[in-house]
Chains A and B, each alone.
Chain A
Amino acid sequence: MTVADADEAAPVSGTGPVLSLGAVEKRFPDGTRALDPVDLDVAAGEFVSVVGPSGCGKTTLLRIAAGLAEPSAGAVAARADRLGYVFQDPTLLPWRSVRTNVELFGELRGVPRAERRKRADAALELVGLTDFAGHRPRALSGGMRMRVSLARSLSLRPELFLLDEPFGSLDEITRERLDDDLLRLFAAERFAAVFVTHSVLEAVYLSTRVVVMSPRPGRICGEFTVPFGYPRGEGLRYDPELNRIAAEVSACMRAAAQ
């Protein structure tokens, strides 16, 4: 299915979760037990953040959800044809312009040129990089490159959007700005999102639900619902209720680390 005819298709709705992981385990050939059984359902319009110490299997979980890795046991069901994935690094092709980088996913899926160009330009506008469409990635700052990577997935109009610590390596100001951009995009598009981060505050600020993972072998040791609606904005960062939830999440993480 292409992005073009996906528009005519019914949006993912009602009939069960977009992503469903049932007792997923992962053991690497070298014996590393990365994931103990993990159950996770994500419905359309849900923004689920996964927090946990580094090395606890967050990336592994996302890769399994995306079909990039096979689980050693358990079941994975993704009802999303259009899958967005933002890696920890921007992974842009240095020989392509910003625009043709954003076009890549559509190109690989056989979307006609004119159509995917239109999508790419729209996605670039969403992330505020229209003026840089003709530039090569190396002319861009780290934050801008991450935006291009976001736009690349957005151009697909993803039903399921997986993000692996996308802003982890950016400075705080840039990170906060990109968080707000992401909130704006989520409010507009309402994809199902799984967002991996090690920042508890970022997780609570963005999500409808926060999932806490234990140290390796990772399993889910706590779930928190965040009761705020969308759109969310800057002011919410300092909301006492939000900070109370963040404190609970942190406590849960600390308890799991013991």
Chain B
Amino acid sequence: MNVRPLLRRLPAVLVAGAAVGVWYLISMVVLAEDRRFLFPPPHDVVREGFLDGDNRAELLDALLLSAQVASLGLLISAAGAIAMAILMSQARWLERSLFPYFVVLQVTPILALVPLFGFWWGYGFSTRVLVCVIIAFFPILTSTLFGIRSADASYHDLFRLQNAGRLTRLWKLQLPAALPHIFTGLRIAAGMSVVGAIVGDFFFRQGQPGIGVLIDLYQSRLQSEQLLAAVLLSSLLGVLVFWFFGWLARIVVGGWHESADEPGVKG
């Protein structure tokens, strides 16, 4: 068996162990017993949050909903942003006329828009998805556009030598060259979409609760074990999404582009 991959993960595992150690230290030593509820030790969080059947079901249902919101939002955003980037790359005037407004949308704090959306369309599933779509759009748009433009002039010459037209160049040169950049954009957008789904929840108290709703609820009820469990699950969701796109990028462009080599695991 090859132990080198395991050895490479060792530092990260040690850090995780140290973090749990510090956690125990704070809960059990720094905090007096009457204040321990502020930061309960890991085993309490696991018992209350994950081993208790009802609590676990509540958490996992909420997590699933948030995951659905985030992934559907990302999917729609990716389709729209990639299509928009392709159109913009083919027609400068389109980029000139629309890009400034995508920047405006990007710099407007999305959470400031949530109440407005809720006011217009209610606080249902589709409004939650819309928040994620908007949040994820810009990074995918810019990275795709950048990727499409990344093919060197000499490569365009190569195609023009045999009289290849714009669409041939787009399909056989610019889009393949853009793929690694698109994946970088997707990875960033996916993380933002998860955050959008969870933070957006704070505004969506009606309907089926997402994990953000639970976080809000546990906090108001001082259920700190479950609160911590919900926070851990939220970051787990983010990590899973991040890993998924790293894995996908390695499958698709790993054979030819070094960007897909996982950072921190090189050599």
Contacts and interface: CB of A to CB of B under 8 A. Distances in A.
B255 A83 contact: no
Given A108-B163, A136-B255, A91 B158 contact: yes
A146 to B, nearest CB: 14
A28 interface: no
Interface residues of A, number: 19
Interface size class for chain B? 20 to 34
Contact of A89 (B154, B172, B179): B154
A136 B260 CA distance: 15
Nearest to A108: B162
A109 interface: yes
Interface string B210-237: 0000000000000000000000000000
Contact of B159 (A83, A95, A108, A137): A108
A105 B253 CA distance: 23
A193 to B, nearest CB: 16
A94 B257 contact: yes
Given A93-B176, A108-B164, A87 B256 contact: no
Nearest to B257: A94
Nearest to A105: B162
SS class, residues of chain B in contact with chain A: helix
A253 B161 CA distance: 31
Given A87-B154, A108-B159, A95 B173 contact: no
Interface string B111-154: 00000000000000000000000000000000000000000101
Nearest to B173: A93
Given A91-B154, A93-B173, A85 B256 contact: no
A83 B168 CA distance: 19
Contacts of A83: 161
A138 B256 contact: yes
B9 interface: no
B238 to A, nearest CB: 30
16 contacts: A68-B161, A83-B161, A91-B158, A93-B155, A94-B256, A95-B177, A95-B253, A95-B255, A95-B256, A95-B257, A108-B159, A108-B163, A108-B172, A109-B163, A136-B255, A137-B256
Interface of A: 63, 66-68, 83, 85, 87, 89, 91, 93-95, 104-105, 108-109, 136-138
